[in-house]
Amino acid sequence: AQSVSQHNHHVILSEAASLELGCNYSYGGTVNLFWYVQYPGQHLQLLLKYFSGDPLVKGIKGFEAEFIKSKFSFNLRKPSVQWSDTAEYFCAVNARGNNRLAFGKGNQVVVIP
Amino acid sequence: GAVVSQHPSWVICKSGTSVKIECRSLDFQATTMFWYRQFPKQSLMLMATSNEGSKATYEQGVEKDKFLINHASLTLSTLTVTSAHPEDSSFYICSARGRAGPTDTQYFGPGTRLTVL
C-alpha cells in the first residue's frame, strides 16, 4: 500500500517569504498526486493535482508543485506567501486505478504578517 | 467547484447510543463516497469506500458492524456509528467523487465532530 510522508509539521514564516513543503510517497507504480489545503475552521480544498503530462503543476492562489518521479516526490511551493496562506496542507497520493487516497500527516503553516 | 455537505457538523451523545452522519454531494452525482476519520494533529485515515447501490468496502481494522455505511443514492451516503463509546470520539470527514472514477477529484465535506460522553 502506498504511504505518504510530509516533514516539518510546523512551519512559521513571514509574509513575502517563500514556502516549500516536501512530500514523498512510497509506491512503485503510477500514481495520482494531490495537495489539499485546510484553512482554519474550513474543510479540505483541492490546491492542485497531477495525473499526467507536465510534471510542474500550477494550482490556485499562486501555488505550484513539481512531480519528480525519480525522487518519488511532489513538493509544493509558493514564491511569496501571504497571511491568508495560514492553513494546514496535506499531500495525498492514490495508485492509478485505486480508490484509496493516502494522506500525509500535514504541514501546519503559520504566516506572520 | 463541487460542494459536499455533512450533517450534523457536530454531535454530542451518550455512550451506547447510535449516531447517524449524512454526507451529500450538492451539485454533482457521486458514484463513490469515502469516509475518513481524523484524530487531533494526525492525518486523515480512510475508513471505508462506498459505491452507490453496493456494499461499502472497509479498510483493515475498521469494524463494519460498528460503522454502518449506506450509499442509497448518487448524492447521499450515511455513516452510522452504532453503540458509540468515548473512543469513537473523533472528527469524521466524507468525500465524494464523480463519474470519472479514479481520475476524478475527491471533494471533501466540512466534517462532523463526534463527542461521546
C-alpha cell at A103: 494522506
Residue A18 makes CB contacts below 8 A (sequence gap 6+) with: A77, A78, A79, A80, A81
Could you say which residues of chain B have pLDDT below 50?
A: none
Tell me the pLDDT tens digit for each residue of A45-62: 999 999 999 999 999 999
For chain A, say whether B103 makes contact (Cβ under 8 Å). Answer: yes
Phi, psi torsion values for B40, nearest 5 degrees: -55, 130
The minimum CA-CA distance between B18 and chain A, rounded to whole Å, is 25
Write down the pLDDT at residue B101. 58
Write down the pLDDT at residue B19. 97
Nearest CA in chain A to B42: A105
Write down the pLDDT at residue A48. 94
Rounded Cα distance between A25 and A102, Å, is: 9
Write down the pLDDT at residue A35. 96
Tell me the pLDDT tens digit for each residue of A59-94: 999 999 999 999 999 999 999 999 999 999 999 998
The minimum CA-CA distance between B2 and chain A, rounded to whole Å, is 10
Name the residue facing B103 among A51, A102, A106 (closest C-beta): A51
The mean predicted confidence, pLDDT, of chain A is 92
Asked whether the beta carbons of residue A99 and residue B34 sit closer than 8 angstroms, the reply is: yes
